[in-house]
Amino acid sequence: MKNKLIILFAVASLVAATLACSFGEPTLNNVRTAKDEDGNQPSSVFSTTDTIYVVSDLSNGAVGNVISSKWYAVDVENTEPNLLFDEADITIDEEGFDGTVYFYYPPPVDGFWPLGLYKVEIFFNDALIGAVEFTVQ
């Protein structure tokens, strides 16, 4: 009987530890620019015809979490410095979401990106998580 009680306690402890890990705080990290929505082709240099992806990894996402992006033309030809040119939000609708979250922007002007330096800020529930820069050459 004593052995069964010890085994039951061990199993209960293991289940509790597993549940605690799976219901941890939501975290967003590893913000990066890429040439694909999965972030498997990271790059910080793009051509004028590329679609730019900004990818991050979300763990333990909760329903209602909001990831936001702000896109800036930092030093771009024929453009006001640090011009905010786009904002977008993604709202998580799946409890316990684990995976990549991405924003993308196709070439904006007549199918071409103007040459220069750009920046994208990523926010998680209104807190700045990171900023990435990319260059269009």
**Is position 2 within any domain?**
no
pLDDT at 39 over 70: yes
**Is position 98 within any domain?**
yes
**Is position 60 within any domain?**
yes
Burial class (CB in 10 A: 0-12, 13-18, 19+), 61: buried
Question: What pLDDT is attached to residue 85?
Answer: 96
pLDDT at 15 over 80: no
Report d(CA 54, CA 121) in Å as an integer.
9
CATH of the domain at 64: 2.60.40.10
- Beta strand extents in the chain (DSSP E only): 27-34, 45-46, 52-61, 66-76, 83-91, 97-105, 116-124, 127-136
Q: 64-115: per-residue pLDDT in tens?
A: 999 999 999 999 999 999 999 999 999 999 999 999 999 999 998 788 999 9
pLDDT band at 24 (very low <50, low <70, confident <90, very high): confident
78 is in which domain, residue-wise? Answer: 26-136
